[in-house]
Homo-oligomer: A and B are copies of this chain.
Amino acid sequence: MSNLLTTSDEILASARALIMTGGYNGFSYADIAAVVGIRKASIHHHFPSKTDLVRTLVMRYREDAEAGIAGLEQRVQDPLALLQSYAGHWAQCIEDASRPFCVCALLASELPALPPEVAAEVKAFFRFASAWLTSVMERGAEDGSLTLSSEPRVEAEAFMASVHGAMLSARAYGTPEVFATILAPTLQRLTPTAAR
């Protein structure tokens, strides 16, 4: 086995790509098998049920996000720059079509139809993202690097909603630039007048 990725990782990666395009009910074990190059039954060896597979996938997705955020926080301290990096990250993912949609945003839209175990993981992702953005808003309000017009918590939720809504519009119009176009004024509003 000269491969860098384990089979289980390949299964997760292809499932993630498939979910990003069509959601939970938009892919099957047969689809994954075709991409990875193994048989359906072999997938069941790694993930007994589809629920197991997607729950693991979402857990891993959140862990990756947590690691990404931790890394970002080490490189960047300024709250405004953090928000810009976050938005910029997604702008790039959408524009180069590498990760055209947030897995958890897509799954959240079909939340009532998801297996409860998966739904719980999706909710956990939202809570994590919200908590991080709230902490960024709090730091920005404190050191004056962000101009908030509401409490940090509300500002964080509104920011996350803009990101998700902008993703949706970019997909609906088929024009990736729309994402950056929508985020630009959102970020500008948070920028102190002195820094403009």
From known contacts A25-B26, A165-B164, infer whether A158 and B186 are also in contact, taking CB-CB under 8 Å.
yes
CB distance from A170 to the nearest CB of B (A): 9
Residues 8-67 of A at the B interface (beta carbon under 8 Å): 21-23, 25-26
CB distance from A140 to the nearest CB of B (A): 15
Q: Are B21 and A23 in contact (CB under 8 A)?
A: no
In the bound complex, CA of A171 to CA of B173 (Å): 23
How often does this chain occur in the complex, in copies?
Answer: 2
Q: Are A162 and B172 in contact (CB under 8 A)?
A: no
Residues 156-190 of A at the B interface (beta carbon under 8 Å): 157-158, 160-166, 168-169, 171-174, 178, 181-182, 184-186, 188-189
Q: Are A110 and B150 in contact (CB under 8 A)?
A: no
In the bound complex, residues from chain B placing their C-beta under 8 Å from that of A169 are 126, 157, 160-161, 164
Contact partner of A22 (CB less than 8 A), chosen from B113, B178, B185, is B113
CB distance from A160 to the nearest CB of B (A): 7
The answer to whether the Cβ of A83 comes within 8 Å of any Cβ in the partner chain is no
Contact partner of A110 (CB less than 8 A), chosen from B23, B161, B165, is B23
From known contacts A23-B110, A26-B113, A109-B105, infer whether A158 and B185 are also in contact, taking CB-CB under 8 Å.
yes
